[in-house]
Structure 1
């Protein structure tokens, strides 16, 4: 008679699960650093002429304040391996890509930020694809 509970072997994560968790936590650390950097800009500690909230142009006030809140929120979700963590990270990444690629006349151009977000997104999609392929039954493979 079976109890319907998973066995101990089914509960032990394999290398792919551990690698995905480490990846998400590394991205969480990067998100936390990004959030701190946006807060540094907002409070005026950043070295620059227009890097204080009351001196920023309106578009920077909106973008910086939103990203200063969303990046640490994404970091918390990614660190806890919550399902909403990557969603919030995607909102942050899409916002920064839209800023730097879509409106460079207002925000400047930062190819390194665009490439970094693309690399993280590609790695995330790769991990998710591998995790999904592992769940498929042997007959389908």
Structure 2
């Protein structure tokens, strides 16, 4: 019976070394400029996720009374204002999660919030005051998203 050699614990098998080096090479690979618009789109979605989260938290602060005076209290507002505030308090946080994950449903929910806010500001000025600056920002965010999504779609082959 041949005597077995004690195995060196520090020694690695050649095939295993090859696998590790391939993994290390692919993990450290620098991405080419092929996906530059996709990366920009994801960065934009993450920024919009942070903005949506802050807006949602602000609406919840209005509901709970952390912001505003007694005259601005949630209970003292009209039913339309209360309904819109609760709607945005919920949908903004949902869209923030979806945008951060860069999921298609997150973009859809975010687009719903953008259009909803613009419609409320333009068509129902008695609710939030009809602030055209808010509408302008919403339109700019929407245009930026559409431009980035279009450029990202162009860099991927069909």
Query: Aligning the two structures, in what range does the TM-score lie when normalised by the shorter sequence?
Result: 0.7 to 0.9
Distance 1:74 1:13, change over 3 A: farther
C-alpha RMSD over aligned residues: 2.3
Equivalent residue number for residue 88 of structure 1 = 109
Equivalent residue number for residue 132 of structure 1 = 153
Ranges of 4+ aligned residues in structure 1 off by more than 4 Å: none
Equivalent residue number for residue 3 of structure 1 = none
Aligned residues: 130
Query: Which deviates more, 32-41 or 106-115?
Result: 106-115
TM-score by length of 1: 0.82
1:30 to 35, 45, 51: 51
Partner deviation per Cα, 1:49-88 (whole Å, 9 max, x = no partner): 4433222210011100011000010000000111101111
Indicate yes or no: 2:130 matched with 1:105. no
Q: Work out which structure has the larger RCO, using CA pairs closer than 8 Å and 6 or more positions apart in sequence.
A: 2
Larger Rg: 2
Distance 1:44 1:32, change over 3 A: same
